[in-house]
Amino acid sequence: MEAPTFSLSNVVFGTAGDIESSSTTALSTIFNEAPPVKKKKVSYDDKNEQTRIITVQKSLAAEKEEEIVETTKTDSENSNFVKEKNNDKDDRTVFVGNLPLSTTRKKLASLFREFGLIESTRLRSIAVNGVKVPPGSMKNSMRKVCVNKGLVNTATKSTSQGYVVFESSSSIPLALQMNNKKIHANEEGEYVLRVDTCPPTIDTARSIFIGNLSYDTQEQSLREFFEQAIANDSSIEGVRVVRDKTTMKCKGVGYILFQNRQIVMQALKLNGVTFLNRKIRVMACSNKKRKQNENLRRKQNSDLSHGASRRIREKVHKNETKSTTVRKRNSGMSFKAKTNGLSKRAMKAKKFKYKVKKVEKRI
């Protein structure tokens, strides 16, 4: 076995491989270059995994978009359903007026329970004395507190009104039979109900307008006055007194709906009679839209037939469009305000020249 041989050059300077490795490390440290990294070869299974992840992400995004579209559809469908339900609710609702103040929601429901299933009832237009409520409370909290505590102003208004919502619209014709029905309260006396559809029925041919009423007017007293004056107890179909929303006091006007048109002529004869120390004004109700259409038709016919009125209007319009004359201060002459397309500066220069010429003529 041969012994290893060592030369003096190898010992001092090292071998060739050692020299190359030391040189590369020195250069790398000088230029801060990282050693080359070998790229990993992507296998076929890794590529399939990446494509599978991409497809899953796309499917999740598509599902989210579908959910958003479905939610928007459901929101729109719900809003349409609410609108249809509200419109349908008016068709299933009756208005009940001239109720005693002792009426509750249960008593109101018991009056109309025989005509069909009732969905809900509510009471409105109750005059209250007022009570202090904490700041930031709900809008109608003061009125609710007063009604619950019995702080009701009977002098302003001795009745209330309510609404009954049925589950089916077929109950409405049966419920309207309660109109003009008399009910008896324990201590409050007798009341005549006014039952109408929601919105109310308006027939101007069978109605009269009453003006200059007292602020203390009640529906029952107004009904009794006209029934005695006409001498027909079953002639009135409904009495409505227009009231202020906050104070519930009468605004001075009211309406009466009669059973037929013949009684309207008898009621119009009561114009100027005294009711509650006031001379009331009784007038026939008219349809405003019909009046407007008639006036428009009459105006169109007058424009076509009468040439003189047309020429007068044209002349007035022509005089209005003419340039107005402005009287100059301390001078009898007039200067036309017609600009002729000149600017303000040019107009001022023109006026200055006019004044200069005027002064030169005097000299």
Burial 321-353 (b: 16+ CB within 10 A, else e): eeeeeeeeeeeeeeeeeeeeeeeeeeeeeeeee
Mean residue pLDDT across the chain: 76
Bridge partners, residue 204, by sequence: none
Task: Answer yes or no: do 101 and 195 share one domain.
Answer: yes
Task: Answer yes or no: do 97 and 159 share one domain.
Answer: yes
Task: Answer yes or no: do 149 and 97 share one domain.
Answer: yes
Task: Answer yes or no: do 179 and 138 share one domain.
Answer: yes
| Tokens of residue 87, six digits | 């419109």
pLDDT winner (highest mean) among 209-218, 302-311, 326-335? 209-218
Tell which residue, 168, 167, 170, 174, has the closest CA to residue 111: 174
Domain assignment of residue 74, yes or no: yes
Task: Answer yes or no: do 98 and 189 share one domain.
Answer: yes
pLDDT of 107: 92
Lowest pLDDT segment from 110-119, 280-289, 326-335: 326-335
Task: Answer yes or no: do 98 and 83 share one domain.
Answer: no
Domain assignment of residue 329, yes or no: no
Position 281 pLDDT exceeds 60: yes
Task: Answer yes or no: do 196 and 206 share one domain.
Answer: no
Task: Answer yes or no: do 113 and 191 share one domain.
Answer: yes
pLDDT, tens digit, for every residue of 241-277? 999 988 889 999 999 999 888 899 899 999 999 999 9
- The C-alpha R_g of the chain, in whole angstroms, comes to 47
Domain assignment of residue 190, yes or no: yes
Query: Who wins on pLDDT, 44 or 216?
Result: 216
pTM for the model: 0.56
Domain assignment of residue 166, yes or no: yes
Q: Percent of the chain at pLDDT above 90?
A: 29
Domain limit, last residue, from 270, 286, 302: 286
The count of structural domains within the chain is 3
Distance between CA atoms of residues 278 and 210, nearest Å: 12
Domain assignment of residue 144, yes or no: yes
pLDDT, tens digit, for every residue of 59-115? 777 776 766 666 655 555 555 545 555 668 889 999 999 999 888 899 999 999 999
Domain at 219, CATH number = 3.30.70.330
Domain assignment of residue 140, yes or no: yes
pLDDT, tens digit, for every residue of 131-175? 777 777 776 778 788 877 888 888 888 889 999 999 999 999 999
Domain assignment of residue 17, yes or no: no
Domain assignment of residue 11, yes or no: no
Distance between CA atoms of residues 177 and 138, nearest Å: 37
Burial class of 83 by CB neighbour count within 10 A (0 to 12, 13 to 18, 19+): exposed
Distance between CA atoms of residues 219 and 98, nearest Å: 7
Task: Answer yes or no: do 260 and 221 share one domain.
Answer: yes
Residue count of the chain: 363
Task: Answer yes or no: do 109 and 164 share one domain.
Answer: yes
- Cβ count within 10 A of residue 222: 23
pLDDT of 29: 47
pLDDT of 97: 92
Distance between CA atoms of residues 215 and 213, nearest Å: 7
pLDDT of 27: 44
Task: Answer yes or no: do 221 and 282 share one domain.
Answer: yes
Position 8 pLDDT exceeds 50: no
**Which structural domain range is residue 257 located in?**
202-286
- Sign of the CA dihedral running 220, 222, 225, 227: negative
Task: Answer yes or no: do 219 and 168 share one domain.
Answer: no
